[in-house]
Amino acid sequence: MLTLQCPYCGVMAEETELSAGGEAHLKRFGPGSSDADFETYMFMRENPKGVHFERWRHSNGCGKWFHAARCTVTLEVFGTYTAQTSTPPADLLDKIRAARPGFKWREFE
Amino acid sequence: MSTRLSKGGRLVDTSSTVAFQFNGKTLTGHAGDTLASALLANDQMLVGRSFKYHRPRGIVASGAEEPNALVNLGQNGKFEPNQRATTTELFDGLSATSQNHWPSLEFDVGAVNQYFTPFLTAGFYYKMFMHPRPLWKHVYEPFIRQSAGLGKAPKEKDADRYEHFYAYVDVTVIGGGVAGLQAALAAGEAGAKVLVMEQTAAWGGRAVVDGGTIDGMSAETWVASALARLEEMPNVTLRRRMMGAGVYDHGYLLGYERLTDHAPDQDGPRHRLWRIRTKQIVTATGAIERPISFAGNDIPGVMLASAVRDYAVNYGVAVGKRTVVVTNNDDGYRTAIAMVEAGQEVPAIIDARGQGAGDLGEKARKLGIRVALGMAISKVKGGKRVEGVELCRMEGNGGAILETIKCDAVAMSGGWSPVVHLWSHCGGKLLWDEVENHFKPDATRAPTGADGKPFVLTAGSASGPLGLGDVLADADAAGKMAAEAAGYAPATTPAPAGDARDENQMKPVWMMPANPVYELRMKMWLDYQNDVKVSDVQLAAREGFESVEHTKRYTTLGMATDQGKLSNINGLAVLADSLGEKIPQVGTTTFRPPYTPISMGAIGGAARDDVFQPIRKTPIQQWHEDQGAYMEPVGQWRRPYTFPRGNESHAQAVSREITNTRTNVGLLDASTLGKIIVKGPDAGKFLDLLYTNMMSTLKPGKCRYGLMCNENGFLMDDGVVARLDEETFLVHTTSGGAAHTHAHMEEWLQTEWWDFKVYTADVTEQYAQIAVVGPKARMVLEKLGGMDVSKAALGFMDWTQGKLGGFDARIFRISFSGELSYEIAVPASQGRAFWDALMAAGEEFGMMPYGTECLHVMRAEKGFIMIGDETDGTVIPQDLGLHWAISKKKEDFIGKRGQQRTFLASEERWQLVGLETVDGSVLPDGAYAVVHGHNENGQRNMIGRVTSTYYSPTLGRGIAMGLIKHGPQRMGELVEFGKVDGTTVMAKIVDPVWYDKEGEKQNV
C-alpha cells in the first residue's frame, strides 16, 4: 500500500486511489517502424532491482497521469512529476544519483 | 489433575459464576476466565485431536501462540471454527465443541492413524498417492478429505456485522505490556498522536505475572500508574482486544479489534478492521516461549512453563497437582517456584544444563524443590493425560532410563524467541543471538518508508532483552526515537528503573536427550497443529530438501493456522543440525500477515449484500423492476434480459419480443450505452487516431460506426460516433466499456499526444437513451409530435435535436436490429417521464418493451458483432470481416502497426462466418469445430469455435456466428461441432447476415 503525491492536485494519494501504468518514458513506434523497434516498444521492459521510473494515474482522484521515481527494493519514493515529458527532470536525476551512486536506468545514469 | 486454586487469579472474579458448554456438557467458570482457563479449571485436559494422527491433544499455551486448543465456537449464524480457547474470553452461554474427531473426542476412530506413523512421514502424500492416478480421485482424496482438516466450515450466513475504520496517527505502539506502555508514555509525552493496541483484554503482559519492581513499585502498581498517565493524555488512544495484524508499505498498518466476541449480546459490530497510516510503528510484542522436543511432548498436560505460570497467577488454576519442570534456562524455575507457592507439588526441575540456574536456582532449592542437573526427559508416559516422565542423561541417546517420576503435568521451557513477525512483514531483517539462541530484529536493517528512512522500531523483549530493566530502557528509547522521527521533540526524562537480570546462560536444546534413538525422535513433536515431528524434518533433510522454505512445504512445518509460532525455531534448528549447518545460515521462512488469523467478516467490513458492489441504475430501472423484468448483470449495470408476461418462459418471452419488434414496434432502455464527449480544435485528428476508420470527415448532423483497437491491434470497443458541431463529437461505447474507453482516451491524450487541444467527458449518466425500433417506430414518434422524423428530414445515420412531445430530445437514426430505428437521448431527469410518454403513445401500435436477449438475437440475425462475444482480446477487426471499417488512407491509428505483424496478417486465422445446424438445433455456446486427429494433449484438433448462438424466431431455427479457419472461403461446407454430452452436431457455413441483406428495412 504505497502513498504517492499527485503532482497535479497535491494529494498524498493512497494506492487504492491510484492505477499503475507500467514503465515510464516509452518511445512509441507506429506504422513504418521495424519489427524490432515495435517489439521493444510493446513488450520489452526494464525490471530493475533499484530505482524505477513508472507511470501512475490518480484514477480515483483528479484523474491525471503522472510519473514517479521509486525504488523497487526499499519502496523509497524519490519524486513524482508531470506526465508531459519524455525524460525525468534533471533535479530528480541529481537527487537519485546522490542517494544511489552508480545508478543506471535505460539511458540515464 | 488440573483444578481451580483456592486463592490467586488476578484476572478472574471468583465471586461470579459463568456457565458455558463444552461438547454439550455444562461447565462453569468465572468472569475474566478464558475458555482455556475455564476448561483447565474443570480438569478438561483433552481438548482436541491432532490433524494427521488424531492423537489426543491438550492446551499448550496461554495466548495467541496456542496450536492445539482450537474449537468450534457458537451456533447457527454465529458459528465459527478454529477459534483458540486461549484467546476466547468466557461469557455466559458460550458454547464450544472440539474439532477433528469421530465419533467423539474421547474415542476417535482416526487415532489408528498413529499406528501407521512410519507410513505417514513427510512427503507421504506425494510419494504414496502418485499412482495409479484414478485411485487418487476416487479413493485417496475422498478418504483424506473426510479424515483430515480442522474445524467445519460455517453453513449459515454470518449473523454479525463488521466495519472498517480509518486512522492517521504519528506513532502506533503494538503491545500493551510494560514495554509498550513505556514506549507510549515516551512518545505521548513528546506530543505525538499515539495509538496503543493490546491484543488481550488485560494490560501489563508478562511482567505483571512474573513480578519484579519498576521505580520501586511492583510491576502491577507501575502498570496501573502508567495507564492512568496515558489516559490523561488527550493525544493518546488506548485500545484493548486489538491486534496489530499486519505491517505494509509506507506505514500502512492493519489493526484487528474484537469488539463483542466477549459479549455477543452487546450491540454494534463484532470486529473492526483498522486501516491505519502511521508515521512510526513501535512493536512491543514481547517474546514467546519455545517448547522442547522430547518424546511424548504432545500428551495433554505437557505445557509451556510460562503458560503454567499464567494459569496459576492470572486465573488461579493449577494445571497439575504434581508438575515436573523441564528447562534449558533459568526462567523455567519461575514456574516451579510459582507452583510451590500456590501450594502444589513440584517433584523436580529437570535442567538440561550442568551448572543449573543462578538466583532463581537458589530460591527453588530454599523452597525444597529438587533440581536434577544435566538431565533430560527421555519420554512422557501417558495417553490422554500425563502420568509420569522417564528421565535419562542429557548427553546420551535416551536408551538408559535412570528414573521414573510420577506427575500429572510437565512444564517445559526451551528459551524465549522475540515476536518478530510485525517487524518482518515489511522487510525488517533478523540477527541470530548466540547467547539467547534466538532471532532478534537487526535494528540496522529496518523496514523503510517512502522517505527511505526506517518506520518500524521494536521495544522491550521484541528487541531481544529479557530482563525487566533492559526491557524498560529499550522501550523508553524506542518511544523517544519514534516521536522524534515523527517530528516531535522527546522529553529528557530517564527511563524507569527495573530489576536487573541475573541469570545463567541458557543452553540450546533442540532435542532431548542430545542424540535420541529413532523411536524417541518419531514421538518428538515440533509442530503440534500439523503433526510434524523431529523425524519428519530429518527425513526431509536426508531427501535433499535443504532450503528451509522447501522443508516447510514438504513437511508442512509451520503451515497451520498458528503459522508455526511455537515450532519454527525448533524446526529449523533440527534442520540446521541435520544439514550440519549453523541456524542463521539456514535462515527463517517468511513471516506474512496477519499475525493470527482474522475473520473474513472483518476483511469484508460493511461491503456485503447490497453494498458489496454498488449497482448502477438507469432512470427507468424502477419501471423494469415493477414489470417483473428478468434482470441480468451487464458490467455494473442490471439490464432487463426480457419482460415475461403471465406464465411465459424466458425463451417464449424473448421470441414474442422479437416478433413484435420486427412486425410492430419495440422499446429498449439503452441508457447504459456509454456516451463520451470529445471536444476541441484537434478532436477530429484525435478520433482519427483512436478509431480504425476516418472520423474527421464526418459532417455535423451525421453518425458513423467505428471500431477502436488497442496498440496491439486487437478490437476493444465499437460504437456510433455523432458529430455535434465542428469541434464536438459524441462517442457511443458499449454498455460495459464507457469507463474503460474514457480512460483509454485520457491515457493517450495525457501521456502521448499532450499537445492536442482536446477535452473528453464521460456523460453516460447525464442522459437516458431509449431506442424505438420497428416498422411502426415513426408512427409512435409522430404521435408524440414536435419534430419532423420523416426519411427526408432525418435519414438513416442522421441525427437531430429538438422538442419531441415536449421533451428535450436528441434523435439518432441508427439501428442495431436491422429495423427502422430511432435512438432518442433525453436528459436523465426526463428519462422516466419520456419512457412513460412513449409507452402511452405506442399502445395503439402494439408497442412492447424488449430486453437484452431480444437485442442480441436481432443483431445476430443481421450479422452484427457484439464486443465480448465475437471478440475476446485476441480478435482483430479483419478476423470479423470488418475490413471496410479500417482506413487504408490514414498513416496511423492505434493498433495499425500491431495489425501489420505477420501472425495477425496471416490467412490461417479463424474468421467470422454464420453457422446453421443441419437439424435446425441451437449450437452450444463456445462449442469447438473439430476435425480428424488429435493434438499433443489428446484433444480433437480444432479449426474454430462458436462465438454467438441463438434460436431465431424470425427464421424458425438455430443460428450462430463463429470463427472458422478459412471460413469465408468455405461457404456451404459442413463442419462438425462437439457438444457438452460428448456427441457432435453438423453445421453449415453460411453468410452471417440472415435478415434483410440489402438493409432496406432500416433505411425507410
pLDDT digits (tens, 9 = 90+) for B814-859: 999 999 999 999 999 999 999 999 999 999 999 999 999 999 999 9
Query: Quick check: A42 and B711 CB within 8 A?
Result: yes
3-state secondary structure labels for all residues of B417-466: EECCHHHHHCCCCEEEECCCCEEEECCCCCCECCCCCECEEECHHHHCCC
Alpha helices in B121-196 (DSSP H): 124-128, 133-135, 141-147, 178-189
Angle at the Cα of B380 from the Cα atoms of B59 and B9, rounded to 5 degrees:
35
pLDDT digits (tens, 9 = 90+) for B498-539: 999 889 999 999 999 999 999 999 999 999 988 899 999 999
Query: Quick check: B449 and A21 CB within 8 A?
Result: no
Query: Quick check: A28 and B900 CB within 8 A?
Result: no
Please tell us whether the domain made up of B162-287+417-485 is placed in CATH 3.50.50.60.
Answer: yes
User: How sure is the predictor about B410, in pLDDT bands with cuts at 50, 70 and 90?
Assistant: very high
CA quadruple B686, B689, B691, B694: dihedral positive or negative?
positive
Query: Quick check: B891 and A31 CB within 8 A?
Result: yes
Q: Which of A15, A56, A64, A65 to mutate to test the interface with B (most CBs of B within 10 A)?
A: A65
User: How sure is the predictor about B729, in pLDDT bands with cuts at 50, 70 and 90?
Assistant: very high
Greatest CA separation for chain B: 114
Query: Quick check: A1 and B900 CB within 8 A?
Result: no
Q: Which fold has domain B674-765?
A: Alpha-Beta Plaits (3.30.70)
3-state secondary structure labels for all residues of B820-871: CEEEEEEEHHHHHHHHHHHHHHHHHHCCEECCHHHHHHHHHHCCCCCCCCCC
Is any Cβ of chain B less than 8 angstroms from the Cβ of A30? yes
The CATH code for residues B624-671+766-858 is 3.30.1360.120
Question: How confident is the model over B25-51, as a mean pLDDT?
Answer: 95
Residue of chain A whose Cα is closest to the Cα of B712: A42
Query: Quick check: B452 and A76 CB within 8 A?
Result: yes
Q: Residue B115 pLDDT more than 70?
A: no
Query: Quick check: A35 and B743 CB within 8 A?
Result: no
User: How sure is the predictor about B148, in pLDDT bands with cuts at 50, 70 and 90?
Assistant: low
B743 contacts on A by Cβ (under 8 Å) = 57, 59
Query: Quick check: B452 and A74 CB within 8 A?
Result: yes
For residue B124, what pLDDT is reported?
66
For residue B147, what pLDDT is reported?
60
Residue contacts between A and B (CB atoms, under 8 Å): 68
Please give, rounded to a whole number of angstroms, the shortest distance from the CA of A75 to a CA of chain B: 6
Q: Residue B114 pLDDT more than 90?
A: no
For residue B837, what pLDDT is reported?
98
A3 contacts on B by Cβ (under 8 Å) = 250-251, 277, 450
A83 contacts on B by Cβ (under 8 Å) = 750-751, 754
Q: Residue B137 pLDDT more than 80?
A: no
Query: Quick check: B250 and A42 CB within 8 A?
Result: no
Please give, rounded to a whole number of angstroms, the shortest distance from the CA of A34 to a CA of chain B: 10
Residue of chain A whose Cα is closest to the Cα of B740: A59
Domain at B907-1002: CATH architecture: Beta Barrel (2.40)
Written as nine digits, the cell of B184 is 507510549
Query: Quick check: A99 and B452 CB within 8 A?
Result: yes
Please give, rounded to a whole number of angstroms, the shortest distance from the CA of B755 to a CA of chain A: 9
User: How sure is the predictor about B984, in pLDDT bands with cuts at 50, 70 and 90?
Assistant: very high
Please give, rounded to a whole number of angstroms, the shortest distance from the CA of A96 to a CA of chain B: 12
User: How sure is the predictor about B9, in pLDDT bands with cuts at 50, 70 and 90?
Assistant: very high
Give the ipTM. Answer: 0.98
Amino acid at site B572: L
| Touching B: A residues 69-88, CB under 8 Å | 71, 74-77, 83-84
Q: Residue B622 pLDDT more than 70?
A: yes
User: Rounded to whole angstroms, how far apart are CA atoms B475 and B286?
Assistant: 11
Q: How many helices (H) and strands (E) does chain A have?
A: 2, 6
For residue B120, what pLDDT is reported?
65
Q: Which of B444, B456, B751 to mutate to test the interface with A (most CBs of A within 10 A)?
A: B751
B448 contacts on A by Cβ (under 8 Å) = 74-76
Query: Quick check: B252 and A83 CB within 8 A?
Result: no
Query: Quick check: B897 and A33 CB within 8 A?
Result: yes
Please name the member of B449, B451, B897 whose beta carbon is closest to the beta carbon of A29.
B897
pLDDT digits (tens, 9 = 90+) for A49-97: 999 999 999 999 999 999 999 999 999 999 999 999 999 999 999 999 9
Is any Cβ of chain B less than 8 angstroms from the Cβ of A92? no
Written as nine digits, the cell of B39 is 476448561
Residue closest to B307 by CA, chosen among B19, B574, B87, B571:
B87
Domain at B524-586: CATH architecture: Orthogonal Bundle (1.10)
Is any Cβ of chain B less than 8 angstroms from the Cβ of A33? yes
Amino acid at site B394: M
Please give, rounded to a whole number of angstroms, the shortest distance from the CA of A50 to a CA of chain B: 12
For residue B130, what pLDDT is reported?
61
Residue B353 is given by DSSP the state S
Residue B245 is given by DSSP the state E
Is any Cβ of chain B less than 8 angstroms from the Cβ of A36? no
B118, B796, B944 from B787: Cα distances, Å: 89, 16, 48
User: How sure is the predictor about B119, in pLDDT bands with cuts at 50, 70 and 90?
Assistant: low
Residues of chain B above pLDDT 70, percent: 96
Is any Cβ of chain B less than 8 angstroms from the Cβ of A2? yes
3-state secondary structure labels for all residues of B76-114: HHHCEEEEEHHHCECCCCCEEEECCCCECCCCEHHHHHH
B250 contacts on A by Cβ (under 8 Å) = 1-3, 75
User: How sure is the predictor about B151, in pLDDT bands with cuts at 50, 70 and 90?
Assistant: confident
User: Of residues B728 and B135, which shows the higher confidence score?
Assistant: B728
- Please give the full DSSP string across B551-595, using - where no structure is assigned: HHHHH-TT-STTTTTTTHHHHHHHHHHHHT--HHHH--PPP-S-S
CATH topology agreement for domains B162-287+417-485 and B291-414+504-509 = yes
Q: Residue B951 pLDDT more than 90?
A: yes
User: How sure is the predictor about B496, in pLDDT bands with cuts at 50, 70 and 90?
Assistant: very high
Beta bridge pairs of residue B393: B375
Q: Residue B144 pLDDT more than 90?
A: no
Domain at B1-156: CATH architecture: Roll (3.10)
Please give, rounded to a whole number of angstroms, the shortest distance from the CA of A97 to a CA of chain B: 15
Taking any CB pair shorter than 8 Å as contact, residues of chain B touching chain A are: 248-252, 277, 427, 448-452, 711-712, 743, 746-747, 750-752, 754, 891-892, 896-898, 900-901
Query: Quick check: A57 and B249 CB within 8 A?
Result: no
User: Rounded to whole angstroms, how far apart are CA atoms B571 and B532?
Assistant: 9
Q: pTM for the whole thing?
A: 0.91
Written as nine digits, the cell of B318 is 493449577
Query: Quick check: B448 and A74 CB within 8 A?
Result: yes
Please name the member of B249, B751, B892 whose beta carbon is closest to the beta carbon of A1.
B249
- Superfamily classification of domain A3-99: Folate-binding superfamily (3.30.2270.10)
Question: How confident is the model over B361-386, as a mean pLDDT?
Answer: 96
B984's CB contacts (< 8 A; 6+ apart) are B930, B976, B977, B978
List chain A domain ranges: 3-99
Query: Quick check: A2 and B249 CB within 8 A?
Result: yes
A31 contacts on B by Cβ (under 8 Å) = 891-892, 896-897, 900
pLDDT digits (tens, 9 = 90+) for B315-336: 999 999 999 999 999 999 999 9
Please give, rounded to a whole number of angstroms, the shortest distance from the CA of A105 to a CA of chain B: 19
User: How sure is the predictor about B152, in pLDDT bands with cuts at 50, 70 and 90?
Assistant: confident
User: How sure is the predictor about B149, in pLDDT bands with cuts at 50, 70 and 90?
Assistant: low
Flag the least confident range among B441-450, B476-485, B548-557, B928-937: B548-557
Query: Quick check: B452 and A2 CB within 8 A?
Result: no
Q: Which of A51, A67, A76 to mutate to test the interface with B (most CBs of B within 10 A)?
A: A76
Query: Quick check: B450 and A57 CB within 8 A?
Result: no
Q: Residue B27, SS3?
A: strand
Residue of chain A whose Cα is closest to the Cα of B894: A30
Query: Quick check: B448 and A84 CB within 8 A?
Result: no
Query: Quick check: A83 and B750 CB within 8 A?
Result: yes
Domain at B291-414+504-509: CATH architecture: 3-Layer(bba) Sandwich (3.50)
The angle, 0 to 180 degrees and rounded to 10, between the axes of the packed helices B305-315 and B331-341 is 40
Q: Residue B217 pLDDT more than 70?
A: yes
pLDDT digits (tens, 9 = 90+) for B783-810: 999 999 999 999 999 999 999 999 999 9
Please name the member of B252, B450, B754 whose beta carbon is closest to the beta carbon of A77.
B450
Query: Quick check: A42 and B712 CB within 8 A?
Result: yes
Contact between B284 and B277 (Cβ < 8 Å)? no
List chain B domain ranges: 1-156, 162-287+417-485, 291-414+504-509, 524-586, 624-671+766-858, 674-765, 907-1002
Please name the member of A38, A76, A84 whose beta carbon is closest to the beta carbon of B450.
A76
Query: Quick check: B750 and A64 CB within 8 A?
Result: yes
Average pLDDT, rounded, for chain B: 94
Written as nine digits, the cell of B956 is 424458425
